[in-house]
């Protein structure tokens, strides 16, 4: 397919339309024209699918310092203290702001209603419409964004690559496939907020858009990535043949749900004193062990001891979805097994979203401030998107103002010419484009490879073999016609390589990263794995 190339100039380009991207757009609308490019519909993001809630120290029994301690404990010794302090201290302001803008969080009378989730020592999880918190937050953010005439949304627009001129990020190449256009977007600053990369695994709670696009394009542009080995698997995703891998919220265990193996035995007390409220990595590995011991592919989440009315009111979306799929969660235990859920690593940034490439910022799941350490505390992700999305917006505006002032004062570098402008690309090592059937086969094989070799339990032999195969696929897909599906496959291969390389480099087990050949943390475990092209 032939594409018409068009050039667009804007003040700020945001790639991604989840909580982080939308909160950044709201901040930047005060400083200039903002273009938000999303590769699918306006609401299709991981934020939309977040059920459990948002963690914030706002209840009478809670304190910011306790939220800080819980986050640090869940991160298994690898959290960035400054990032955690920023998250928990600024979080209440961001939530009060959402309420002011019209967010309807659930209440008990006139007071906000809080629930508890794994590894939290207080009831601090705010929820909306029972189990539709992410959807409610996106509704409010999108409404707020629409109130600014400075913000333009560009939907169904796949960002192929970043543009770097004289060492600075100055825009991106965006493919509008339905319109047959390839847009070269020039901007004073770029914020990458494309979410995670769960689609590289066979089972994931992530939406189909989570193919690691921001991680891969930032890497190709020369950005540093950190902590890519830390992949969080959610312990309880629905396991039904032919059914979607529907997330069963952490809050279900927080409200009394129990995990049982296929023999009906409540097994978690053998693994951790907190049982169902143990950290996610502990619960996930416990389920993995039970699956191996019982030679089956699922365990059960049991809510049947709770009253029908309570379960239906507290988890209406989950109840309705499971009922439509043939499971009445008030009357029978729910078959579940772990699924890839969140990547703690990402594009390395400071506490203001700035990367090592001037002009390029990152926020949300795409970024890595170190706030989650080796294992994210449940329901901290929505708060992260709001807090660091706002900060990235502020920092991008400051950067653009300083850059403009320098240009006006004549202190800029020599004029930019075509030879100095580069668009980061994949290396072209193949002579012919890959057949679509071959591409589909590679994608399915990649998902299985990552699940088997770079999943919940890892070792050197499997990781080394996975890297060899991933590099072979990288060579096979190096040339491709401009197309969203081809670009997504390349990005999935790139992010998979980064995850596998990082997992091989960390010879020890910490948080969500478990090596059965190095079951202990090992020497130098506090060092971070940072990768640059």
Q: Which residues are catalytic?
A: 280
- Distant-in-sequence, close-in-space partners of 301: CB < 8 Å, separation ≥ 6: 236, 248, 252, 253, 257, 258, 259, 333, 334, 336
- From edge to edge, which strands make up the β-sheet containing 299-302? 231-238, 334-343, 299-302, 258-260
Tokens of 491: 């990005």
CB 190 within 8 A of CB 68: no
What are the Cα distances from residue 284, in Å, to 194, 276, 289, 313, 468? 26, 10, 9, 27, 28
Give, to the nearest 10 degrees, the angle between helix 19-28 and helix 133-146: 20
CB 19 within 8 A of CB 142: no
Give, to the nearest 10 degrees, the angle between helix 81-100 and helix 381-408: 100
CB 62 within 8 A of CB 45: no
- Helix (H) or strand (E) run with residue 403 in it: helix 381-408
C-alpha angle with apex 253: 249 to 258, nearest 5 degrees? 125
C-alpha span between 319 and 241 (Å, rounded)? 18
Q: Which of 475, 478, 497 is nearest to 486 (CA)?
A: 478
173-179, long-range: CB < 8 A, 24+ apart? 173/423, 174/37, 175/3, 175/482, 175/483, 175/484, 175/487, 177/1, 177/483, 177/484
C-alpha span between 319 and 314 (Å, rounded)? 9
Give, to the nearest 10 degrees, the angle between helix 213-221 and helix 484-505: 80
What are the Cα distances from residue 67, in Å, to 269, 290, 497? 25, 31, 34
Compute the radius of gyration of the chain from its Cα atoms.
22
- Distant-in-sequence, close-in-space partners of 368: CB < 8 Å, separation ≥ 6: 225, 226, 227, 344, 345, 346, 347, 348, 349
* Start-to-end Cα distance in the chain: 31
Q: Where are the beta strands (DSSP E) in 68-167?
A: 107-108, 111-112, 114-115, 125-126, 151-154, 158-165
């Amino acid at each position: 397919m032939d594409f018409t190339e068009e050039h667009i100039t804007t003040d700020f380009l945001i790639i991604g339309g989840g909580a982080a991207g939308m909160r950044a757009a709201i901040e930047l609308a005060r400083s200039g024209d903002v273009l938000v490019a999303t590769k699918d519909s306006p609401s299709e993001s991981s934020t939309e699918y977040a059920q459990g809630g948002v963690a914030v120290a706002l209840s009478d029994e809670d304190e910011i310092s306790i939220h800080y301690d819980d986050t640090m404990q869940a991160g298994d010794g690898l959290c960035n203290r400054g990032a955690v302090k920023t998250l928990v201290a600024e979080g209440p302001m961001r939530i009060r702001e959402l309420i002011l803008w019209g967010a309807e969080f659930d209440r008990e009378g006139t007071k906000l209603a809080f629930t508890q989730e794994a590894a939290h020592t207080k009831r601090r999880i705010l929820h909306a419409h029972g189990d539709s918190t992410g959807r409610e937050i996106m509704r409010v953010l999108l409404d707020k964004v629409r109130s600014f005439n400075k913000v333009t949304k560009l939907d169904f627009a796949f960002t192929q690559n970043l543009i770097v001129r004289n060492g600075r990020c100055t825009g991106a190449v965006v493919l509008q496939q339905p319109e047959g256009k390839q847009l070269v977007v020039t901007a004073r600053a770029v914020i990458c907020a494309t979410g995670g990369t769960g689609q590289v695994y066979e089972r994931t709670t992530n939406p189909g858009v989570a193919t690691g696009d921001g991680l891969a394009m930032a890497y190709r542009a020369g950005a540093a990535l950190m902590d890519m080995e830390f992949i969080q698997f959610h312990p309880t995703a629905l396991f039904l043949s032919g059914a979607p891998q529907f997330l069963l919220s952490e809050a279900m265990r927080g409200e009394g749900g129990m995990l049982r193996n296929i023999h009906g035995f409540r097994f978690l007390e053998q693994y951790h004193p907190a049982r169902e409220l143990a950290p996610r990595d502990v619960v996930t590995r416990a389920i993995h062990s039970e699956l191996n011991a019982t030679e089956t592919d699922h365990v059960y989440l049991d809510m049947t001891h709770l009253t029908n009315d309570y379960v239906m009111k507290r988890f209406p979306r989950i109840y309705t979805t499971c009922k439509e799929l043939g499971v009445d969660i008030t009357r029978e235990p729910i078959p579940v097994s772990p699924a890839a859920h969140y990547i703690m690593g990402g594009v390395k940034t400071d506490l203001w979203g700035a990367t090592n490439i001037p002009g390029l910022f990152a926020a949300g799941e795409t970024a890595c401030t170190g706030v989650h350490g080796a294992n994210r505390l449940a329901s901290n992700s929505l708060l992260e998107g709001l807090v660091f999305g706002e900060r990235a917006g502020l920092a991008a505006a400051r950067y653009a103002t300083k850059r403009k002032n320098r240009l006006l004062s004549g202190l800029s570098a020599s004029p930019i010419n075509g030879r100095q402008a580069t668009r980061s690309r994949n290396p072209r090592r193949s002579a012919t484009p890959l057949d679509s059937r071959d591409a589909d086969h590679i994608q399915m094989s990649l998902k299985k490879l990552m699940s088997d070799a770079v999943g919940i339990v890892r070792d050197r032999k499997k990781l080394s073999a996975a890297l060899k195969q991933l590099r072979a696929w990288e060579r096979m897909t190096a040339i491709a016609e401009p197309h969203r599906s081809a670009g997504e496959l390349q990005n999935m291969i790139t992010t998979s390589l980064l995850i596998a390389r990082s997992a091989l480099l960390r010879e020890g087990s910490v948080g969500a990263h478990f090596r059965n050949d190095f079951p202990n943390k090992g020497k130098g475990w506090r060092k971070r794995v940072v990768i640059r092209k």
